Amino acid sequence: MRAKAGGTPARPRLSVFRSNRYLYAQIIDDSQGKTLVAASSREKEASTLKTNMEKAGKVGEALAKKAAKAKIKKVTFDRSGYKYGRIGILMQRYYRPNEVKEFEETVVQINRISKKTKGGNQIRFSALVVVGDKKGKVGVGLAKATDVRHAIGKAISQAKKHLIIVPLRGTTIPYSVNEKFSAAKVLLKPAPPGSGIIAGGPMRVVIEAAGIRDASGKILGTKNKISNVYATLKALETISAIVRRKEKEV
């Protein structure tokens, strides 16, 4: 991996390391064996944040500022074999450190796609992204591109074009719903204040992005992340439809 993503003086390597508690990122010139700049979630600005995603974003911003001071314009991104998620957020904030964000963006999954053609294997990437303002708006985007950065960008744009509005009752949802999408089945129920989100994996990402702070959810079907994200979004759409129908009846 490192032999393919070696850093040079003109284009050093951005390498990441993730422990159980912290996230580290450094820009390295491999030709000299020298670390040019570095940042981590142990630093004061990042350590005070609550979620790992927020900390990863702050590490990306801090590294971008240090790289700008060191006059580093281009890097070769080396994710060191880690899956996207926190690493994807770090990369987004590194490339767009000063962007004023209306929505929080979370990379749920990155897939490498290989297609055999006459000219050889054609490599592309697909990105699954959830965006939300944590005030009732949430959307999901799935897009493909020839590199990870553009795949994430296209998925974010797609998600913002297909936002839904989720009706909230305080910090939770007004109704329980069972919903199905492809082979995925999800159960979503309201929870008392202070319960937090009792759900895991991709389901939790969608619920948090919508601004729901107390809810209980369970994945009953396939473990496929794409299907479960869309099933959760469909469940929230069903709740919106129930609320609209009851308002008309009144």
Same domain for 94 and 174, yes or no, is: no
Query: Which CATH number goes with the domain that contains 204?
Result: 3.30.230.10
Strands ordered across the beta sheet of 164-165: 104-117, 120-132, 137-145, 164-165
Q: Which pLDDT belongs to residue 5? A: 60
| 115 within a domain of the structure (yes/no) | no
Q: Which pLDDT belongs to residue 153? A: 87
Same domain for 9 and 96, yes or no, is: yes
Show the domain range for 35.
Answer: 1-100
Instruction: Report pTM.
Output: 0.69
Residues contacting residue 111 through CB under 8 Å, at least 6 positions apart: 125, 126
Please say which residue of 100, 129, 145 terminates a domain.
100
Helical residues (DSSP H) of the chain, grouped into ranges: 44-47, 52-69, 86-95, 148-161, 201-209, 225-249
Distance CA 41, CA 191 (A): 32
Tell me which residues of the chain have a pLDDT lower than 50: 1-3
| 229 within a domain of the structure (yes/no) | yes
Please say which residue of 59, 78, 100 terminates a domain.
100
Distance CA 217, CA 219 (A): 7
Q: Which pLDDT belongs to residue 1? A: 39
Q: Which pLDDT belongs to residue 3? A: 46
| 140 within a domain of the structure (yes/no) | no
